[in-house]
Amino acid sequence: MGLRIYILKRVIYSLILLYFVITINFFIFMMMPGDPVSTLASGLRLRDPEIIKAATETFGLDRPIHERYVKYVISMATLDFGYSYDTRKPIVNEIGLRLQNTLVLAIPPEIFSIIVGIVLGVVAAHKRGKLIDTASVITSLAVYSLPVFWIAMMLILVFAYNLRWFPAGHTIPAHWIYLPPQTIWEDLGTRLYHLVLPWTTLFLLTYGSYLLLTRATMLECITEDYVLTARAKGLKERTVLFKHTLKNAALPIITDVAIVFGFMLGGAIITEQVFIYPGLGMWIWRSIETFDYPALQAIFYVVAVCVIIANLIADLLYGVIDPRVKYG
């Protein structure tokens, strides 16, 4: 089987998987307790049955379940997510606005944690049993085990309230409402300044998993014959570790990175809540509180698509990284 046939096969499998994800997503929300229209009416203090009935018809909640299911599948496939129960705005526009913030929040610390985690994992495996290995493992386990809200709150307490080095939350300062920035550099610099603590939180939360995974996979490969042969040829230890050993130990790391990047678009819910950051994570929390089922269905669908695509890319990278993997 050639690469093209393999890609076509994987795409078909992914589409089938996506259909099952859409179906499960639909029925999960259908079985959830609570009536979103009644909740919406209660929040707005509406008591008129005619208004409630009109809202039910507008959102299509009065139709038979099979009709709603067919419409839902078509809507997901065409990215026509409808309108939010909470904001009454198109969900596609709402996702677009918040997705930008989530990408800015999640991607830089994720990339940095991957680089730092892999490098420290290689060093820990090379120095296994020594002080640097023990310290790396203990530190990673300790930080990785801490609740994310606790890490965020400690950073706010120390660096925002005690030292006053960084702001405690939000994406922009409050005075920008009546006094906006004068230059693009002031705008960019201030936004980055507000992201320091959230970025640090996400970095501390994730780098340890990459370190431990890299160390474990490296230890499985570091005693192989090809590593001993590379050393016998007089290659530098850095070349042996990163070019030979890490390359052959990279498959589990690629899988983990692909899954994390896929779920990353779902937003860091707790981190965004603590730092009052208007991304997808905060929107998920708000949608849960308001029974905004269309918004939740759209977000989970987007996350599922991203995870499936990320895993497809990871499968293709296997053959590039490791020549022993054959598409057949």
165-216 per-position pLDDT tens digit: 888 888 777 767 777 777 788 778 888 888 899 999 989 888 888 999 998 8
Cα dihedral across residues 156, 159, 161, 167: positive or negative? negative
Residues sharing a CB contact under 8 Å with residue 232, sequence separation 6 or more, in sequence order: none
Residue 146 buriedness (CB in 10 A; 0-12 / 13-18 / 19+): middle
d(CA 7, CA 2): 9
Residues sharing a CB contact under 8 Å with residue 95, sequence separation 6 or more, in sequence order: 81, 280, 298, 299, 302
- Pinpoint the residues of the chain covered by CATH 1.10.3720.10: 104-163+198-321
pLDDT for the residue 53: 65
Helix (H, G, I), strand (E, B) or coil at 189: helix
d(CA 49, CA 38): 10
CATH class of 104-163+198-321: mainly alpha
| pLDDT mean across residues, the chain | 80
Helix (H, G, I), strand (E, B) or coil at 45: coil
pTM of the complete model:
0.80
The token duo for 100 is 């930008």
d(CA 279, CA 265): 10
d(CA 104, CA 92): 19
Residue 150, CA distances (Å) to 194, 270, 325 in order: 19, 10, 42
pLDDT 10s digits, 79-92: 888 778 777 788 88
d(CA 128, CA 219): 8
Q: Considering only CA atoms, which of 325, 313, 310, 286 is closest in space to residue 84?
A: 286
pLDDT at 231 over 60: yes
Q: What is the DSSP string of 100-158?
A: HHHHHHHHHHHHHHHHHHHHHHHHHHHTTTSHHHHHHHHHHHHHHHS-HHHHHHHHIII
pLDDT 10s digits, 282-302: 888 888 877 777 888 888 888
pLDDT 10s digits, 90-134: 888 888 888 888 888 888 998 999 999 999 998 998 888 888 888
